[in-house]
Amino acid sequence: MFEIVTPPEPDKIIRLMGMFAADPRAGKVDLGVGVYRSPEGKTPVMAAVKSAEQRIWAAQESKSYVGLRGDLGFLDAMRRLILGESVSPDRVAAAGTPGGTGAVRQVLETVHRLNPSATVWISDPTWPNHPAIIDHLGQKRKTYRYYDAATGGIDRGGMLADLAKTARGDLILLHGCCHNPTGADLRSDDWREIAAICARTGAIPFVDMAYQGFGAGLEEDAQGLRHLATTLPEVLIAASCSKNFGLYRERVGVVLIVTDGKAAAEGVLAGMNRQNFAFPPDHGARVVQEILGDQALDAVWRNELERMRRAMEGNRRALAEALRAETGSDRFGFLAAHRGMFSLIGATPEQVERLRAEHGIYLVGDGRMNIAGLTQDTIPRVAQAIAQVLA
């Protein structure tokens, strides 16, 4: 059967991982793969996670199944972390998923089954897996203007004009914070404008919250989403614990649906889980529940997360300053204003290839840079290479 199949093109980030691993150069720098790295260049297990795992190991007496929607304590903890007290628990349906990608997939497939005519509106640009999943499901999609490459900011006029064209039942896919790949985030007034557009057109916001705590802070990063939840009758949310808990390989995700039809929504989510993977993974979810449910562990985790956030901010400032020194201009000043792990540096695919071939610096082909992959030791060399190649 498989001898007649043409393999699909490999995902560009997965392909980049393979190229980096095969590169024998000692000074190579991986700025492509989206993982946090410490100032020493390591992706650590957080201390709060280690403590939680030790407690779970000592107390857990069974690896039997949990419910189709996952552990209810984890779901409630994630609801509180993301939505706070913005909406009543009676209006929030929830289900666990294998990672944030699984949550995105479950939301999109659920909407496609319930409303096959819905169009999914995605930002230009967006995380490549968004359109890939949408296309795989056979959904209709359109883009709305988002990033202004000339300024390194958001094309607010273009974005709002495009979103005004949405129809009732369409999805507007939004990045909750730390926009991937641009790093350019929505402001409070943008969230209010989007809420007003949804109220007028009947479109439904779908928020991908993959980086809560990596932008301006845990509470600050959720304010836009919470405004939607308090303003609109229905909001769809896909969230990940890969980044802010460092649980990349544990695949911890959650779907939250703000709705007046909670019981029906939870039934649909449980059915979708059953059909796609049955029971969601539990170990990472139990770790998150243990941390968020214990005041001392929660404080340790929040302090660790804040240090990570500040380290990324420091990397941004240091890189912008190094590039200013190398170029004699403020051409890359926008890097210091962006938030989260990623920014686009304005490189063409050819320039990205030169950075890899000539300098051992690995970026995704669209010029997306993982700011968290930088260290104080590599920033000067990276700045020099970028200034030379992008001159």
- Positions annotated as catalytic residues are 127, 208, 210, 243
Rg for the chain, CA atoms, rounded = 21
Coil/strand/helix, residue 268 = helix
Strand runs labelled E in 48-138:
92-98, 119-124
Q: What one-character DSSP code corresponds to residue 126?
A: -
Residue 240 DSSP one-character state: E
Written as one letter, the residue type at 197 is I
**Which of 210, 235, 11 minimizes the C-alpha distance to 100?**
210
Residue 361: its H or E element: strand 361-362
Q: Please state whether the peptide bond connecting residue 125 to the residue before it is cis, i.e. omega within 30 degrees of 0.
A: yes
Q: For residue 91, what are the CA distances in angstroms to 80, 86, 87, 243, 324?
A: 13, 11, 7, 27, 49
Q: What are phi and psi of 205, to 5 degrees?
A: -75, 135
Amino acid at 278: A
Half-sphere exposure of 124 (CA within 13 A, CB side): 15
The residues that bridge with 143 in the sheet, in sequence order, are 122
Q: How far apart (Å, rounded) are the C-alpha atoms in residues 222 and 82? A: 6
Check residue 50 and report its DSSP letter.
H
Q: Which among 106, 371, 82 is positioned nearest to 265, based on CA atoms?
A: 106
CB atoms within 10 A of CB 40: 9
Q: Rounded CA gap, 332 and 321, in Å?
A: 9
Six-digit token string for 323? 């590039």
Handedness of CA 331, 350, 371, 187 (dihedral sign): positive
Of the candidates 167, 180, 236, the one whose C-alpha atom is nearest the C-alpha of residue 206 is 236
**Alpha-carbon dihedral of residues 188, 191, 192, 196, nearest 10 degrees?**
170
CA distance 261 to 94: 12
